[in-house]
Amino acid sequence: MLGHVQPIVLAPNLPETFYRGSGRLAAFRDMVLEPRPEDWVGSATARFRQAPAGLSPLPDGTLLVDAIRADPAGWLGAARVERDGPDPGVLVKLLDAGERLPVHVHPSRDFARSHLASPYGKSEAWIIVDAAPEAEVHLGFTRDVAAEELQAWVTDQDVAALLGATNRLPVSSGDVLFCPAGTPHAIGPEILLVELQEPTDFSVLLEQEGFPVASDDALLGLPVELALSCVDRQGCSPSRLAELRGRATGSLLPAEADEFFVAELLEDGADIIGFAVLVVTVGRGSLTGDWGSTPVARGTTLVLPHGAGTGRVEGGLRIVRCGPGLSTAG
């Protein structure tokens, strides 16, 4: 089929969410969009309790998840299918924060297997595309936090104490950070980023005040004590924060992320082999291969099926290639 032998340019996929965007997403995509802050790119993952929201349609209207299930080897390659079944293993988003997101945390694979009937947790990584001069993120606690203290913050919605216990990190275009499952975090306002995640929509909102999220959904339908047990309450030291930083070129993420997902920055002359989700962040040019030539520019998003063979980047482009991790979620 044609869809298996060439890259497919994707239209925006904008599920509803609970926070405001900044307008950076529409500017990046160079099109008029609904005022929603997330574009789920090449997604085979649905919103928590809101399926089919979040699932990416292909140009012919077929959902990508259904196309993959119909021909998993053509899309993902026989080796990946043998290892993990018809599962892309990664969720990619363009995230446009127009306000500070709430402090929240994502469960680990072990927690998800035990309590959420999923082989995947939700480690994630952030590749900053655009940010205001004073932009910042919050990542990890500055000190060890006792379980009773954390539960009191959440029960009382003591946002000042909760936020005040997190590390504040300035960010700018080109910065890369890995956020392991369990790490409390919040993305600050006026930031556009490419976000790689394990393919789930599991979030435990430690901060709920002021955000229109049902309390049951905010805790994944779990009792509060159980939900909060997924939080890494250890202090995240400066040396640990340094370990979570990635690079600006080549393989972007720290090695610790490799089991969950991979991301690399591709420029003119680079080859792309195998299933990938692609986000063009700079320039104008094309992807070429046996199928011919596909023109792309800053803001273009694509999915590259395994069956397309080797593609090549041509022109003054920078493309973030996103793919599944190197180990099975099993």
Give pLDDT tens digits for 97-119.
999 999 999 999 999 999 999 99
Query: Which residues constitute the domain of residue 291?
Result: 263-324
Task: Tell whether 111 and 129 lie within a shared domain.
Answer: yes
Q: What is the pLDDT of residue 329?
A: 75
Mean pLDDT of 110-132: 98
Task: Tell whether 240 and 282 lie within a shared domain.
Answer: no
CATH number at residue 73: 2.60.120.10
Q: Answer whether residue 3 is part of any domain.
A: no
Confidence of residue 5 (pLDDT cuts 50, 70, 90): confident
What's the whole-model pTM score?
0.96
Amino acid at 211: F
- Is 192 strand, coil or helix? strand
Domain end residue (candidates: 233, 255, 277): 255
Cα 86–Cα 198–Cα 133 angle in degrees, nearest 5: 140
Mean pLDDT of 259-284: 97
Averaged pLDDT of the chain: 96
Give pLDDT tens digits for 11-44.
999 999 999 999 999 999 999 988 899 999 999 9
Task: Tell whether 101 and 79 lie within a shared domain.
Answer: yes
**Inter-residue contact 21 to 28 (CB < 8 Å):** no
The strand pair at 292-297 and 204-205 is best described as unpaired
The number of domains in the chain is: 2
**What single-letter DSSP state applies at residue 119?**
S
**Residue 19 main-chain phi, psi, to 5 deg:** -125, 165
Look-up: residue for tokens 């309590």? 115
Residue 133 has pLDDT above 70, yes or no: yes
Task: Tell whether 159 and 216 lie within a shared domain.
Answer: yes
